[in-house]
Structure 1
């Protein structure tokens, strides 16, 4: 129902009807017409307009307004001069890159049909499919990486210390080594190693002990690490976790 539609393809020649403005204007007047997006032709007639991701996003958005189902498109490499196509080429040649288009396609939720108009018809059709699958895989990998990064918590806290407690680098280093059997000095900070915490950095400021921790909550050693960390803070400040919470109600939660 509703068929047939008439597909009118974008032209690659400046002197031939079929610019983007021609096609969208025609589609607005005749609703049974669907503009066909030939990336190589549009790229040529606009003097090499499809370079960045945003360029492809814009042209796809323009043509999508008039699609009748899948967005129908064609792709190939292209040689052009001025604002006109000279000849279609394999997709590896020229400045029209399918790799860039694939970045957009990988994020699209609507269906798109892409026909290879390359001289290497079937070869480039398969090659485009490989490029798209690689792009999708990379995006999924990055997404998973960001998800995992979100599970690593980095927190900086300030702890009160009992009167008379030393907070110089040497005393912090000595106590750290006594409790955790580790500790080094880097730029006046003490770096402690506690299995389950990726990093523990300690330094003194006034009457407070400052501590920056980076922890992976999914680590199998995380629970034991928190216990060892609390032992270290108690040894350095003179206050247990419960005492610290009572003393400083405004302190960040541990």
Structure 2
């Protein structure tokens, strides 16, 4: 939300420097503020930094291939990609990290190697499909297979819930698609069909985000596993809509 607030504000005020450059400074300052105030730990900042680099690499390829564009001028552009764009992916990583901590997330029946391999394939396919057959539907099916039986456990209102891991990807993907519509409306970037006039982002991007979320989840889950914060430590709700009170301590 902080990033989108900055995007919106940047369209309403006169800036002394190019807008994309201002957004880069804004992203850096927000990250520093979150770290200094303890809203994000040093480890989380490091993970988010990895997201920034992965996202920037993705942007360099996709912009070069004409998938979308950043039409405004900026001093901090590399290959037509403003460096602030990495924060758009870092925001997803930040969201997952925050959600993990705030809702005490745990994952049961998680298969790190299988899910990691499929997620790597998903990331690669979004680049290679420009030259090779698009395997996203096959990879989506593979993701369903490797996440079958895996559940995310979380706390809301003093009760533990769980939902299928694959469903969590779909839900997060939908909200990211909504966020992408907001971002393109405020000119964060433009798809070719939005250059003349803003239009709704194509619904197919919803599915793309649902798949890409798996990459974010795998990275954060790997880091959480190293800190013993991946596997459930209690018996959680057997159904998604079942509520069990948390044990008193």
Q: TM-score, normalised by structure 2?
A: 0.20
More strand by share: 1
More helix by share: 2
Greater RCO structure (CA 8 Å; 6+ sep): 2
